Structure 1
Amino acid sequence: MKRTIKTSAVIALACAAAGIGLAGCKADATAAGSPLAAHRTDDPFTGTKKIQVNGKAVNVSCSGTLSRHKPVIVLLPGLGDGLDKMAALQKTLSKDDRVCSYDRLGEGASDKPDGPQSFASTGKILTGVLDHVAGHHPVVLAGHSLGGMIVGRYAPDHRDKVKGVVLMDATTPNSVADITRDIPANATGQAAQLREQTLQVDQGNNPENLVITDTKVRSAGNIPVQVIKHGKPYLAAFPQYGPRMEQDWTAGQHKWLALSHRSKFSIAAKSEHYIYLDQPEVAVQAIERVAAQAAR
């Protein structure tokens, strides 16, 4: 889906900002032996249904066959996107794998959050979803934009469950600092609007009420990780400040490589921010490759 430069930049930077702090889930609430972990179930349903997680209705979609020898692939869309955005990707992947996606609180058909969310609270919802759709099976998490940030912050605290990660133009780990540095406070016009909108999103003024904070990338163990960056430098087209934003976005993608010694970086040459829509074959190949490595 094509968007104006201004809208694309807001989505990429703001969603990325929203995704940056999501990985800070606390292990004490979601680790093995916790109340959530104690109720893990394998529910090999096909289609879309709502499940209860922490007293909230969460809209979940699953397809494909559950296998003892393969991980369950779970897709996380970006900020402002529901699971329907990834329906085509899920359909393709589910020909050979078990694949699920879900609407985070505030998105799609899921309940709205009661108030501001943190990466810890968002992570607890993700844990509840994984417990329901994967049970004791390992998972591969594939996230786009903010969804990628959530994955990148969640995986290090859940090494027993997460056995592979794919980040598709994930929000950068230092997105808040990036926007404040790249566009100065005295900027005017569209640049000033972009700065203000992005910082408002960071403060929780977004559909998920997620407060976004910067974080240092931590190790998720020696798992396969694929980081994919957009190849069309659309951020650079933004007047005056675009080239610096593009540069910092690229640097942020490389920071995600610290998730694992088995991390690999690639560029989707023909894609803007929505890699899985612009070049779905790139997303499919990366996810299938990581899932295959995680199954060994």
Structure 2
Amino acid sequence: MKWIAIGIAAIILIALIGGALYEQYARRDAAKRFPPPGQMVDIGGRRIHLDCRGSGSPTVVLEAGLDINGSLGWYKIQDEIAKTTRVCSSDRAGIMWSDAPPHAQDGDHAARDLHAALRAAGIDGPLILVGHSLGGPYMMNYTRQFGGDVKGLVFVDASHPDQIARMRLPGKPPESQDPPLALRIMGKLSWTGLLRLLPAQPGSPGEPKAITDARQAYLGHSIQGAVAEMKAVPKIFAQGGELRTLGDRPIVVLTAAKPGSPEELELEGLTPDEALARQKLWQGLHEDEARWSTRSRHELVPDAGHYIQLDRPDTVVRAVSEVVAAVRAGGASAPGK
């Protein structure tokens, strides 16, 4: 039994060493096969991927939500916006092409990273920030620290700093803020190469294969960054909530209002009435966000889920164009419907 145990341990050790070596090879191979579409900007000993397209002012900055897509999540709208002005997407530290941070991730660090990357690329404003989901608190953190450059904002089904408490339904337990166990395990084991055995995660309908393949190639790196962000969500919300006054900056708040399918409700453990109640709470949070500026518009998007930029990219492009026009007009009234 002793020698059997030693043999099993040796096999596991060899598998781990082999997997780790393969993971290092796979990461180098990914860098060759899927180079960053933008530029790798040095922000002081590490690099942030910044993908800027088009020309003109103001510069639109796209802030992704909490996922492993990073800058790739804007593929349906970035080139459309680039037809009328300069637009930049980026990968936060530890996601896709950007180097992992040397510190715990939070909203303030992410804002400083983005500001340093923009300045290193010669971009100093005026800026219009577009934030999806957790990108909402991230862009509010940026505005709190570097608000002189920020002239307008677009909230794309964005998170609200109070949503953890205010989205709780009566009779339902509080939602856990810890990353799911499966993701934590995946993050811890990413160095072993085991994630390479997982099937490619499906993207949105019509997603180009190159994007799907690139996301999968960088999965081992990005999953660690995403888990780090999940752990910091309460802190990111608290930091973002420190600023709730945007003055007269033009803003548009977009709310996904597509009802969940019966399968989705079952997965989330919600009845149709509970789903409707939750949607009303979500809409109320976005109405609150719209009140942060004296020049705002709140739009419900009934045929889009949480990723409005994928389900209804035209709606997001139109909202961005409205804010761009308002910023260019200076003292013009808030963008209309």
- TM-score, normalisation: structure 1: 0.72
Q: Which residue of 1 aligns with 2:298?
A: 265
- What is the CA–CA distance in structure 1 between the aligned matches of 2:296 and 2:314, rounded to whole Å? 20
- What is the CA–CA distance in structure 2 between the aligned matches of 1:147 and 1:183, rounded to whole Å? 30
Q: Which residue of 2 aligns with 1:207?
A: 226
Is the CA contact 1:54–1:125 (under 8 Å) kept in the aligned structure 2?
Answer: no
Return the offset for 1:230.
Answer: 0.6
Is the CA contact 1:220–1:259 (under 8 Å) kept in the aligned structure 2?
Answer: yes
Return the offset for 1:179.
Answer: 5.0
Q: Which residue of 1 aligns with 2:135?
A: 147
Helix, strand or coil for the counterpart of 1:106? coil
Match among 86, 92, 98 for residue 74 of structure 2 = 86
- What is the CA–CA distance in structure 2 between the aligned matches of 1:208 and 1:129, rounded to whole Å? 23
Helix, strand or coil for the counterpart of 1:104? coil
Q: Which residue of 2 aligns with 1:171?
A: 159
Return the offset for 1:134.
Answer: 5.2
List aligned pairs for 1:1-296, cutoff 5 A.
47-65=37-55, 67=56, 70-80=57-67, 81-133=69-121, 135-178=123-166, 184-185=172-173, 195-196=175-176, 199-201=177-179, 207=226, 209-210=228-229, 211-213=232-234, 214=238, 215=241, 217-234=243-260, 237=265, 238=268, 239-240=270-271, 241-296=274-329
Could you list the structure 1 runs, at least 4 aligned residues long, displaced by more than 6 angstroms after superposition: none
Alignment-mate amino acid for residue 91 of structure 2? D
Is the CA contact 1:173–1:217 (under 8 Å) kept in the aligned structure 2?
Answer: no
- What is the CA–CA distance in structure 1 between the aligned matches of 2:324 and 2:61, rounded to whole Å? 11
Distance 1:266 1:63, change over 3 A: same
Alignment-mate amino acid for residue 57 of structure 1? R
Is the CA contact 2:76–2:309 (under 8 Å) kept in the aligned structure 1?
Answer: no
The two structures, once aligned, show a CA RMSD in angstroms of: 2.6
> CA offsets per residue over residues 215-269 of structure 1, 9 Å max, x none?
3552122110000001213299442443333222112111212331111101112
**Structure 1 unaligned spans of 5+:** 1-45, 188-194
Distance 1:135 1:262, change over 3 A: same
Which is further off, 261-270 or 172-181? 172-181
Distance 1:108 1:263, change over 3 A: same
Helix, strand or coil for the counterpart of 1:225? strand
Larger RCO: Structure 1 or Structure 2 (Cα < 8 Å, ≥ 6 residues apart)? Answer: 1
- What is the CA–CA distance in structure 1 between the aligned matches of 2:138 and 2:124, rounded to whole Å? 21
Return the offset for 1:117.
Answer: 1.7
Alignment-mate amino acid for residue 107 of structure 2? F
Helix, strand or coil for the counterpart of 1:96? coil
Return the offset for 1:121.
Answer: 1.0
Is the CA contact 1:138–1:161 (under 8 Å) kept in the aligned structure 2?
Answer: yes
Higher-Rg structure is 2
> CA offsets per residue over residues 151-196 of structure 1, 9 Å max, x none?
13322443310001001000122122235556733x8xxxxxxx33
Distance 1:91 1:200, change over 3 A: same
- What is the CA–CA distance in structure 2 between the aligned matches of 1:136 and 1:127, rounded to whole Å? 8
- What is the CA–CA distance in structure 2 between the aligned matches of 1:166 and 1:79, rounded to whole Å? 17
Helix, strand or coil for the counterpart of 1:91? helix
> CA offsets per residue over residues 31-69 of structure 1, 9 Å max, x none?
xxxxxxxxxxxxxxx95111112432111111112x3xx
> CA offsets per residue over residues 189-213 of structure 1, 9 Å max, x none?
xxxxxx33xx1149x9761623123
Is the CA contact 1:156–1:221 (under 8 Å) kept in the aligned structure 2?
Answer: no
Return the offset for 1:114.
Answer: 2.6
Is the CA contact 1:221–1:260 (under 8 Å) kept in the aligned structure 2?
Answer: yes
Is the CA contact 2:77–2:313 (under 8 Å) kept in the aligned structure 1?
Answer: yes
Distance 1:143 1:183, change over 3 A: farther
Alignment-mate amino acid for residue 269 of structure 1? P
* Number of residue pairs the alignment of both structures matches: 237
Is the CA contact 1:52–1:58 (under 8 Å) kept in the aligned structure 2?
Answer: yes
- What is the CA–CA distance in structure 1 between the aligned matches of 2:328 and 2:156, rounded to whole Å? 21
